[in-house]
Chains A and B, each alone.
Chain A
Amino acid sequence: MWSKINFNDIALIPIWQKLQRGERLSLEDGLILYKTNDLISLGKMAQYVQRQKNGDAVYFVLNQKIEHTNVCVLSCKFCDFAKKKGEAGAYEMSTNDILSKITPEIKEVHITGGMPHDWQWERYLEIVSSIHQKFPDADVKAYTAIEIDFFHKKFKMSIEEVLRQLKEAGLKTMPGGGAEVFSERVRRLLFNQKVGEKVWLDVHKTAHRMGIPTNATMLYGHIETIEERLIHLIKLREAQDETSGFLTFIPLAFQPGETGIKPRNEYTSAIDDLKTIAISRLMLDNFPHIKAYWVMLTEEVAAVALNFGADDMDGTVGEEHIAHDAGALSPMKLAKENLIKIIKDAGKIPVERDVFYNPLKIHGENLIGKIPYLNSVPIYHYLNSEDFKILPVTPRRLGVLFKQGTVVAGLISLIDYFEQEENLELMKWCIAARDQVQSVVLFSKYEWKNLAGKTIGVIDDTSTSVKLLEVILKKKYGVTASLERMKPNNYQNYSAVILIGDEALKNLKQSISGFEFRYDLATEWFDWQKLPFVFAVFAVSKGLSQDLKNLIQHSIKESLTKGKNNLEVIGSNHGRTLGYTSKETKEYLEGFNYVLGEREREAIEVFRNIVGSK
């Protein structure tokens, strides 16, 4: 990675050194970052972190925002969306009104609204379940923590029960609104009827523990201080350390409109917007994504933000009453083509995603694929991406992209390699486990032999590990069980689940209740075959020019050499998002062999024979 920065502000240099060592930034660091006029260097630092996390991908989703009603029992000063019942302009949508807004291509429905005093609980559930049933491709992201807490109090159910019923109805994730700024001072002045930090964080952490990922926001540019912004970020970072359940952070630029609040400037300055994106990326080292929400930022600033640490542009949105009523400058609709153009112009790869950030469609070519798990970090961390673009995708999906020709080089799952061998050229790297792997784990309610006739849930990401599981079941233990692809976080429906990569690591830390047995598949293989296990190999398309092949060869070699000497540094940031300390991360990475040697080649052939491919 071209990571040289020509600092105009030397106060940033110690922070840059910290980042390169993978260390966490402090409140004081944050203040220095906000104070600097060296915008370019700040952006470059944020981009350095962003590339580690998301390569060159920028995500967007075909989404529809639904605001089911603007009738609200609260009167928050910064909101000019809410109305009282019967007031001119007040509206309440029926479930049919809501369904009529959704079209089949929509992949995410974002639901938030006012809180009227007379709606029944069933109505909220019905909104979720009817969308879920009628539009199974559209994942429901619904109800802020404020609304969840409102339901809890109004309908006299615990937070857990509220969330449980919503999840059962089809809720997938929760939006991050209502956090505003975690400061009692600001809360008293601007939104004293809202729940405040403790309840907000409790609701989100509860959701995370129940397998509901959520987003987080910060409303900035009103009366808050820079220190209050940073404290907000640090509190979110601490919560994420506990649960790892946040997907995205979204800084929301305040729109004064008719709210009557007089911030210092009518709109936040573009410089403040870009700094806030960059500083969020740097402070929130354990958040996977940072969103440049164009509806609030304007399309123009959001476009520039893609080079300042943001990797998500939200989406087509459909309708956006809250921001628009307060005078947001953006047009109501941004066509998908326009989003793709903006992302491409920013030098990034447009990736259409679902609510969990699974890529659905990639708008790019000649990409290098990166398995977005901690274990691939040593290969990619120091890769100079001046010459090619890096796309992080899970192994199974990567196999498909190789086949389509979208991805022309990268780690490919061994099984997919077998299938596409004639079009691929093997390079001399791989991801191989010696005698254990830790991150390919069968979490089971039963011992191996008692799994006969049971159904095992298979995480959708895996390609090779599921084959490995099959052969271990059948040929090592002589057990027949049925395997079934499952959606994330649906584990309790199965007798055992196989998880790989970060999802396995996360669950090893937090354990899944009821799953008493954990089997490391690399250990199972090693005990059986006395060989390492190769999960993925590094391959390039045969059709690629020799120049590019050489460049890739050279770049990976350099990156890996440097990476292996800095294991404690390169994985620490990624490890932190999974709740791993630098030491644990280093130990985990030391368990892998990245060079395709004799023993690894032998292991590949043995596995090939056992699975019977070719």
Chain B
Amino acid sequence: MLKNMYQKIQNNQRITSDEGLTLLQKTPLLELGELASIVRYRKNPKPQVTFVVDTNPNYTNVCTIDCIFCAFYRHPGEDGEYTYTVDHLIQQFKESAAKGVTTVLLQGGVNPNLPFDFYLELVRRTRKEVPEIYPHFFSVSEIVGMSEVSGLSIGEVLQQLWDAGMRSLPGGGAEILSDRVKKKISNKKETADLWIDVMRRAHKIGYKSTATMMYGHIETEEEIIEHLERIRSLQNETAGFTAFIPWSFKPGNTPLEKIIPHYASPTRYLQILALSRIYLDNFPHVQASWFSEGKKIGQVALHFGADDFGGTLLEENVHAAANYVSKTNTEEVIDIIRQAGFIPVQRTTLYEIVKVYGN
């Protein structure tokens, strides 16, 4: 079995979903790592690892979707709820830009009290007042929320945001693209089909986006493959994804903690990462998620198919709410990449090179 797979991957042939499942269930860790390396070096032949200097604030924690894997949100009117003004956020972005940040990954809450104009104004003013910063704003759930608040179609929402100056979307909110799973862990969120559909429309307008997967809760291995299969087919159609980012569910302070008390193991993470690199043969990049798996495993991930170390994430709130705190800075990211044996390269959101850090 392994021998055939090896030949197939070396000959750049596509892996079927059955084969994907076999890789996930039966292939020893280092064999997967080896196969993933073949694909990684075909896609990104240089021994470089990219990263982006970014920050990940949240403009509101008000949310009505009630995902049981989330410890961050508050209901409208609940203690501890907050929503920042556009002025406040612009000021925050300016401070970040002064620290060298090039990308702001901004997400909610899906706050039903915010009008669509809030979002448009935020994008316009960001482009105008903080041009150093690239607005990598709003997950699919928020796009759907804007459509509901404004009565506009999803296509129209995306078009107006584009006209305001947005060019890319973060890939969050995908969790596991299977309606069975979504119904159980995020009943009020968009369906798997809708997530794909929003991304399709966005890519067709010209947006680039990432895709994510949050595993390690109630999904089956078949559903992991289903997730990968769905985004691989969409990428065939649109070529709009820049990178794939898997991470493991963090149970702290979430309702799901009662059922899933432990983090998925690092071995599992490396397997899933390597499988993703092999399976998603039409994705240019796969990111190591040092933030969710820890810096040590994030570093090891660079040998299991990842060619990107993600962002420096100067601010982050969602994992922090689950008592999972991890911090870094640009110097440390450069060190970590170097120690792993690669050349660190700072990039933009769209993978343009900012700076190569030689040895």
A residues lining the B interface (CB < 8 Å): 2, 5-6, 8, 37, 39-41, 43-44, 47, 265, 269-274, 298, 300-301, 303-304, 306-307, 338, 341-342, 345-347, 386
Contacts and interface: CB of A to CB of B under 8 A. Distances in A.
Given A37-B342, A341-B262, 11 more contacts: A2-B2, A6-B34, A40-B34, A44-B30, A271-B341, A274-B300, A300-B296, A301-B296, A304-B267, A304-B270, A347-B28
Contacts of B300: 39, 270-271, 274, 301, 304
B108 interface: no
8 contacts: A6-B6, A40-B30, A40-B37, A41-B34, A270-B296, A304-B267, A307-B30, A341-B262
A405 B262 CA distance: 30
A338 B47 CA distance: 36
Interface stretch (B75-83, B229-237, B251-259, B332-340): B332-340
Contact of A270 (B28, B37, B297): B297
A37 B47 contact: yes
Contacts of A269: 296, 299, 336, 339-340
Nearest to B31: A2
A304 B304 CA distance: 12
Contacts of B47: 37
Contacts of A306: 267
Contacts of A37: 47, 340-342
A543 B6 CA distance: 33
Interface string B4-30: 001000000000000000000010111
A384 to B, nearest CB: 10
B2 A303 contact: no
Contact of A347 (B6, B29, B296): B29
Nearest to A37: B341
A41 to B, nearest CB: 8
Contacts of A8: 37, 41
Contacts of B336: 269
B33 interface: yes
A303 B299 contact: no
Interface string B282-310: 00000000000111110110011000000
B265 interface: yes
B297 A44 contact: no
Interface string B328-353: 00000001100111100000000000
B299 A270 contact: yes
A239 B28 CA distance: 34
Contact of B266 (A39, A273, A303): A303
A345 B263 CA distance: 12
B358 to A, nearest CB: 16
Contacts of B299: 269-271
B38 interface: yes
A594 B300 CA distance: 43
Could you tell me the dominant secondary structure of chain A's interface residues? helix
A273 B295 CA distance: 13
Contacts of A307: 28-30, 267
B303 A304 contact: no
B184 interface: no
A270 to B, nearest CB: 4
Interface string B145-170: 00000000000000000000000000
B128 interface: no
A345 B269 CA distance: 10
B252 to A, nearest CB: 13
A347 B300 CA distance: 18
Given A6-B34, A47-B30, A270-B297, A303 B265 contact: yes
Contact of A346 (B34, B267, B293, B295): B267
B355 interface: no
Given A43-B30, A269-B299, A338 B262 contact: yes
A41 B266 CA distance: 19
Nearest to B265: A345
A330 to B, nearest CB: 12
A346 B297 CA distance: 14
A269 B262 CA distance: 24
Nearest to B303: A39
Nearest to A338: B262
B267 A6 contact: no
A272 B341 contact: no
A304 B38 contact: no
A39 B299 CA distance: 12
Contacts of A273: 296
Nearest to B264: A345
B327 interface: no
A461 B266 CA distance: 36
Contact of B34 (A44, A271, A301): A44
Given A304-B266, A341-B262, A40 B33 contact: yes
Contacts of A5: 34
B188 interface: no
B265 A346 contact: yes
B180 interface: no
A44 B162 CA distance: 49
A354 to B, nearest CB: 26
Interface in B232-253: none
Contacts of B341: 37, 39, 271
A342 B29 CA distance: 13
B268 interface: yes
A90 B268 CA distance: 42
A576 to B, nearest CB: 25
B319 to A, nearest CB: 16
A342 B339 contact: no
Contacts of A41: 34
Nearest to B28: A347
Contacts of A303: 265-267
A346 B335 CA distance: 28
B95 to A, nearest CB: 27
A347 B29 CA distance: 8
A6 B1 CA distance: 17
A298 B266 CA distance: 11
B30 A345 contact: no
Contacts of A271: 299-300, 303, 339-341
A300 B265 CA distance: 7
A300 B30 contact: no
